[in-house]
Structure 1
Amino acid sequence: MYFDAHATGKRIQKARKAHGLTQEQFAIKLNISDRHLGRIERGECAASIDLLVEVAVSLKTTLDFLICGVTETPRERELSALIEKQHQNIQKFKMTINSLMEELET
């Protein structure tokens, strides 16, 4: 996997807009010029790791998302799988209870 500055820039832009920030407002928050932010968002240049960390913190997201587009961490995927398994167990239990109730009614 290679770093894609264009894709990273688009994710930054999308997250910035989701937070209702203009380029100028966000650039001020990051202490960079809006011109530099625009170049990053267009993928014309790559942000330093320090700046990416600041962007992630400011936009309440993760470096995994900004750099790779990953929306879940391995732990989150593991927990989601466990939740799904528990949900399936609950559904089986409900079916068993319903079946027993029908037997009692007859």
Structure 2
Amino acid sequence: MWKFHILMAQISRAIDMKSFGDRLREARTAAGMTQEQLGFALGVTKASISAWENGRETPSFRVLPELRNALKRSLDELICGVDATSTTKPHDKDTAELKAGSVHERTLLVRFRALPAKKREAFLEMLKP
């Protein structure tokens, strides 16, 4: 679990944008939800939501798919700040040729490939829009 927290922090620094907590707060308020309402929907406390929004903690892998569903936002957008609707999907023939565009992307790719197969599958599952 601690590896996920480190990964989340590295992604936030690599992107140099709003923090995960800022994006979470914006998505929650845009959805018209209070911290308490979102916590109830996820099965966590209001204090947990507050800690995530203030950067003191990050949600567990278990909560991420539920978070995506409750806020109706992609995890790409929430975690990385990437609007999934604005990205283009590569063609199948291009997929094999994809290369990391920066040192940060390469680091993420290397760490992803180092994960056990089940964790890679779980990670990809949580990234689905």
Name the TM-score, length of structure 2 as normaliser: 0.53
1:17 is aligned to 29
User: Which structure shows the higher helix fraction?
Assistant: 1
Residue type of the alignment partner of 1:17? T
1:73 is aligned to 87
- Quote the offset at 1:7 in angstroms: 0.8
Residue type of the alignment partner of 2:77? F
Residue type of the alignment partner of 1:37? I
- Quote the offset at 1:39 in angstroms: 0.1
The Cα RMSD (Å) is 2.4
State the alpha-carbon separation in 1 of the partners of residues 87 and 73 from structure 2: 12
State the alpha-carbon separation in 2 of the partners of residues 70 and 8 from structure 1: 11
Q: Which structure has the larger Rg over C-alpha atoms?
A: 1
- For structure 2, the 5+ residue unaligned runs are 1-6, 92-129
| Identical pairs, percent | 34
1:61 is aligned to 73
Name the TM-score, length of structure 1 as normaliser: 0.64
State the alpha-carbon separation in 2 of the partners of residues 38 and 46 from structure 1: 10
- SS in structure 2 opposite 1:38? helix
- For structure 1, the 5+ residue unaligned runs are 79-106
The count of corresponding residues between Structure 1 and Structure 2 is 77
State the alpha-carbon separation in 1 of the partners of residues 44 and 51 from structure 2: 11
State the alpha-carbon separation in 2 of the partners of residues 4 and 43 from structure 1: 11
Distance 1:50 1:73, change over 3 A: farther
Residue type of the alignment partner of 1:73? T
